[in-house]
Structure 1
């Protein structure tokens, strides 16, 4: 197994936020290559989904741009719909760091997103199954 062994899978914006939160928890105790790998995955996801730290200063609107009175997801989320989906590619080593972090995240019953973490972890594991 090498770090170049990769797999890709779909991930929503909301799932990416959960993964970044799980990785942040894991990053506190990680060191060396693992710590760097965790930081790289966080940066990759933040850039892929255009999270605030990778976006320029932009002012949001409080209502829809038209006067119809109806708000759609673009008006509410400003193009940052939590259900927006991207294809994410991870190396096996990155995937291992992510699945370990998600497994630990799931064990903390205080996290309301434990189910999301489990779902993403299983999809990542399935993407690498048979490789």
Structure 2
């Protein structure tokens, strides 16, 4: 698969929430193109799954933390289409988030594996 190719991954709302949380944390440690790509994927998923962001009173990007969600079934699944490079950012963020996850590391691991399979990233994965 070429870096400009796209593929789709099916995510539930709760899984997308984990990806957004992972990307939000990950991008604060990135700079340049990687930071921008992570932010783009994060914002895309927020729009795709109708997530709301509320200002927490802090300043900057961290101040607009992922705070609440619109009504809807967390089990509803949506297909999301990303480029290979966007998927690589999501996998990197999920890999870091997996060990830090206070909610469900198994869910994070499963979502990361689905991204790796859909985008043929297994060979390049560090985990």
The CA distance in 2 between the partners of 1:32 and 1:126, in whole Å, is 27
Give the structure 1 partner of residue 26 of structure 2.
26
1:91 is displaced (CA, Å) by 0.8
Indicate the structure whose relative CO is greater, using CA pairs within 8 Å and at least 6 residues apart.
1
State the superposition RMSD in angstroms: 2.2
Equivalent position of 1:123 in the other structure:
114
Mean Cα displacement is larger for which, 93-102 or 77-86? 77-86
State TM-score, norm by structure 1. 0.74
Aligned residue in 1 for 2:61: none
Q: Which runs of 4+ in 1 moved over 3 A?
A: none
* Unpaired segments ≥5 residues, structure 2: 54-68, 122-127
Distance in 2, matches of 1:20 and 1:113, equals 14
CA distance in structure 2 between the partners assigned to 1:78 and 1:101 by the alignment: 24
| Structure 1 gaps, min length 5 | 54-76
